[in-house]
Every structure is written in structure tokens, then in C-alpha cells.
Amino acid sequence: MTEAVLSSKKKLTEEEIVQQTDIIVAECSGREGALIPVLQAAQGTFGYLPEISLKRISEKMDIHYSEVAGVVSFYKNFSIVPQGKYVIQVCLGTSCYVRGGKEVLKTFRDVLGIDIDQTTEDELFSLKVGRCFGACGLAPVVMVNDEVYQRVKPGRIEEIVQDLRDKESEGE
């Protein structure tokens, strides 16, 4: 049985996913262009977009499943695979790239043992590439969830990862 993970790490059954999806759709129903807000709310609830939720959104909003899936695949911010508690985005915009963003990304890949768009086995970290977070003067920039790390050098990455692991073990 497919399970989704809420940010509290509570596993949900397919039935619970359908119930939560119905609530999300009901809250946004009747609004023009509601598909993207519904998808954003569902991803915010589940941490990703489970297929059962996408099918339910299609059904409840009377939109072909191919259209829903097309929107999800078009926008890079949507994910159909579970994400880690800490989503690490390394900026590879021009300033960050020129100032060492590629080396920062490589070091994160090595330290975490995952590639871009993958999640660690413990579901703690996901690694992504970003394109300009609007902090070019602070390049290279890394975002972990909503926290911005500025002027990140490869030698600092193990410390960042360890600090996040420590946070997790402290129960934050």
C-alpha cells in the first residue's frame, strides 16, 4: 500500500491521503486556475505528490489526469517522490556558478551520497539545483528549506550537514 509522509513523519494510508486530498480540493473549489494552488497545498501536506492524490485531484476537479500530470511534470517545484525533511538547493545561477557553486554541489553529492533529485535513505536530505535565489552578492548560495546559507565553500558543507543531523537528533 502506498504511504505518504507528513512533515511530522506520520505515515498515511491511501484512504487518509484521499480524505486529505478531498479537503484540499474543497478548500480551493470554484476558483479559476485552482489546479496549481491545489497541487501546492497537497505537496505541502504530504511532502510530495502521491499518485493517488493526483488521481483524486483529477477526479474531484474534473480535469483529465494527463493534464494534472503534465502540470506536475512541467513545474520543477513539484515532486512525485518523497522529499527529505531538509531539502538542500544549491544555486547554479550565473553568480553562484562562477563563484564555485558547481564545486559546492559536488561536495554535497559526495557528503550525502546522493545525486541531484534524490533523497537519502533515512529520508533526512534531498538534493536539488536552484537557479538564482536573488542573493547574487552572497554567492555561492545554498538554501536548506527556507534558510539561506551565504558564501558557502566546499569545506563548510560537512559542518552544515552535521548541524542539521544534530538538530534532528535533538528533536527539532
28 near 37, Cβ under 8 Å?
Answer: yes
On whether the pTM is more than 0.75, the answer is: no
What is the residue extent of each domain of the chain? 4-74, 86-169
- How sure is the predictor about 3, in pLDDT bands with cuts at 50, 70 and 90? very low
Across all residues in the chain, what is the average pLDDT?
Answer: 89
CATH architecture of 86-169: 3-Layer(aba) Sandwich (3.40)
Q: How far apart are CA 159 and CA 166, in angstroms?
A: 10
Q: How far apart are CA 153 and CA 18, in angstroms?
A: 44
E-strand ranges in the chain read 4-5, 11-12, 86-91, 118-119, 125-130, 142-144, 147-149
For residue 71, pLDDT beyond 60:
yes
For residue 29, pLDDT beyond 90:
no
pLDDT in tens, 83-99: 889 999 999 999 999 99
Lowest mean pLDDT among 76-85, 95-104, 119-128, 142-151: 76-85
- How sure is the predictor about 32, in pLDDT bands with cuts at 50, 70 and 90? confident
Count other C-beta atoms under 10 Å from residue 123's C-beta: 15
139 near 104, Cβ under 8 Å?
Answer: no
> Residue 115 carries which DSSP code?
-
- How sure is the predictor about 2, in pLDDT bands with cuts at 50, 70 and 90? very low
Nearest to 78 by CA among 32, 36, 115: 36
For residue 149, pLDDT beyond 60:
yes
Q: Is 15 helix (H, G, I), strand (E, B) or coil?
A: helix
For residue 5, pLDDT beyond 50:
no
For residue 117, pLDDT beyond 50:
yes
For position 123, what pLDDT does the model report?
Answer: 87
